């Protein structure tokens, strides 16, 4: 009985975390298309509901009623599992994202490692989908994306080390609280830029959307997917993008903290600051999608391994030596 109570309480919390995320994913898809439209002097989706806000819901409804086609030569179990894995991993990571000092589902000590682990598992959804489709375009797309995601994870990992050196803890709440005096975007600005670009590559966003480059690969790993299974890939991708934005705002933009602790800014509740920062980063994401042409694949790999990796390693050495010589290393007494 006692376990049942705990279970119900936790399920209740999870329910109230999942629903806002799914709704905000729907809204963010709309925002993305609107921004994209405005940059290109179009209107974007503006018919369904006020300002076209319900466009994504209408799309989702359309996908639900479409037939799911499974290719005859596909490996059925893995083919069905792939979108489920993508969607689940995109949602599971939100368990540790703190929206304010106490508004977090589980405040674990290794929050940032957990986020990193979940985002590095994200490649499986794509690789499984591409392989199980048993056709050329999806397979090439998934191979591309696996190489791309593994490469850019390395630089994201090293950027995280930079932040952790300044904080001295892997806890996401501690990381935000360490930015009370100054957001890490100011001392670690080059790392913020590299993080942003790596996040674009990690989530397969343009200009790094080579796994689904329509000119060469039709739709990459999604080619054989239809109906709701395609929609799950799509929602999972956007949930991942939101997650990357949340990660960026926690690591560099001070999470739920207001820019200055002065009167009109600090009465705005903490979760609203967090949401505003996520939205700001997402706005940058969609602007980049609208204005930057696609990279060539060898250039992408060269950028990851030969430019970002050495540069962020060098910055780790710089940060560590700066903190060491000015005696600013965060230490914890072991009593």
Partner 1 sequence: MIIHAFFFYFFSIVAILSALMVITSRSTVNSVFFLILDFISIGCLFIMVGAEFLGIIILIVYVGAVAVLFLFVVMMLNVTHQKQSWFIGRKSTHIPSGLFVSIIILLELLVVVGGWKYKPNVMSSSTLQVSENISNTHLIGSVMYTDYFLYFQISGIILLLSMIGAIVLTYRKRENIKRQSYINQISREKKTSVEMKDVEFEKGVKIDD
Chain residues binding partner 1 by CB under 8 A are 3, 78, 108-110, 113-114, 116-117, 120-121, 123-124, 127-128, 131, 139, 143, 146-147, 150, 153, 170, 298-299, 332, 334-335
Closest distance between partner 1 and the C-beta of residue 65, in Å? Answer: 32
d(CA 106, CA 125): 25
Q: Nearer to partner 1 by C-beta: 177 or 287?
A: 177
Closest distance between partner 1 and the C-beta of residue 201, in Å? Answer: 15
Closest distance between partner 1 and the C-beta of residue 191, in Å? Answer: 20
Closest distance between partner 1 and the C-beta of residue 249, in Å? Answer: 22
Q: E strand or H helix at 179, and its extent?
A: none
Q: Nearer to partner 1 by C-beta: 151 or 179?
A: 151
Q: Nearer to partner 1 by C-beta: 46 or 169?
A: 169
d(CA 296, CA 209): 10
Q: Nearer to partner 1 by C-beta: 56 or 151?
A: 151
Closest distance between partner 1 and the C-beta of residue 105, in Å? Answer: 16
Q: Nearer to partner 1 by C-beta: 17 or 132?
A: 132
Question: How many degrees, rounded to 5, is the angle at CA 313 between CA 96 and CA 239?
Answer: 30
DSSP secondary structure of 273-309: HHHHHHHHHHHHHHHHHHH-PPPPHHHHHHIIIIIIH
Asked if 160 and 316 count as a contact pair (C-beta separation under 8 A), the reply is: no
Q: Nearer to partner 1 by C-beta: 122 or 254?
A: 122
d(CA 185, CA 206): 23
Q: Please measure the distance between the N-terminal and C-terminal CA atoms of the chain and give it in whole angstroms.
A: 39
SS3 169: coil
The conformation of residue 210, written as its DSSP 8-state character, comes to: G
20's CB contacts (< 8 A; 6+ apart) are none
27's CB contacts (< 8 A; 6+ apart) are 53, 56
d(CA 285, CA 280): 9
Closest distance between partner 1 and the C-beta of residue 2, in Å? Answer: 10
Closest distance between partner 1 and the C-beta of residue 282, in Å? Answer: 25
d(CA 49, CA 56): 11
Closest distance between partner 1 and the C-beta of residue 124, in Å? Answer: 7
Q: Nearer to partner 1 by C-beta: 146 or 239?
A: 146
Q: Nearer to partner 1 by C-beta: 2 or 181?
A: 2
């Amino acid at each position: 009985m006692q376990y049942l109570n705990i279970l119900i309480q936790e399920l209740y919390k999870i329910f109230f975390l999942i629903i806002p995320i799914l709704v905000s994913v729907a809204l963010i898809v709309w925002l993305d298309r609107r921004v994209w439209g405005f940059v290109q002097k179009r209107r974007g989706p503006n018919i369904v509901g006020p300002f076209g806000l319900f466009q994504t819901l209408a799309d989702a409804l359309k996908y639900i009623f479409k037939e799911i086609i499974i290719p005859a030569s596909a490996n059925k179990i893995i083919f069905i599992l792939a979108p489920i894995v993508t969607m689940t991993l995109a949602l599971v990571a939100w368990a540790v994202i703190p929206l304010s000092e106490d508004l977090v589902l589980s405040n674990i000590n290794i929050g940032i490692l957990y986020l990193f682990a979940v985002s590095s598992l994200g490649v499986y959804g794509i690789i499984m989908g591409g392989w199980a489709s048993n056709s050329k375009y999806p397979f090439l797309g998934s191979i591309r994306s696996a190489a791309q995601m593994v490469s850019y994870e390395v630089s994201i990992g090293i950027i995280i080390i930079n932040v952790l050196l300044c904080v001295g803890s892997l806890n996401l709440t501690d990381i935000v609280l360490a930015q009370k005096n100054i957001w890490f975007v100011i001392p670690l600005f080059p790392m913020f830029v590299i993080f942003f670009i790596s996040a674009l590559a990690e989530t397969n966003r343009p200009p790094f959307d080579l796994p689904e480059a329509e000119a060469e690969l039709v739709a990459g790993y999604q080619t054989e997917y239809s109906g709701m299974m395609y929609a799950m890939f799509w929602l999972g991708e956007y949930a991942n993008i939101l997650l990357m934005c949340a990660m960026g705002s926690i690591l560099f933009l001070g999470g739920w903290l207001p820019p200055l602790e002065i009167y009109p800014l600090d009465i705005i509740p903490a979760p609203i600051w967090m949401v505003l920062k996520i939205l700001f980063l997402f706005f940058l994401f969609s602007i980049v999608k609208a204005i930057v042409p696609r990279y060539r694949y060898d250039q992408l790999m060269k950028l990851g391994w030969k430019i970002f990796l050495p540069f962020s390693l060098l910055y780790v050495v710089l940060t560590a030596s700066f903190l060491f010589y000015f005696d600013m290393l965060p230490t914890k007494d072991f009593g």
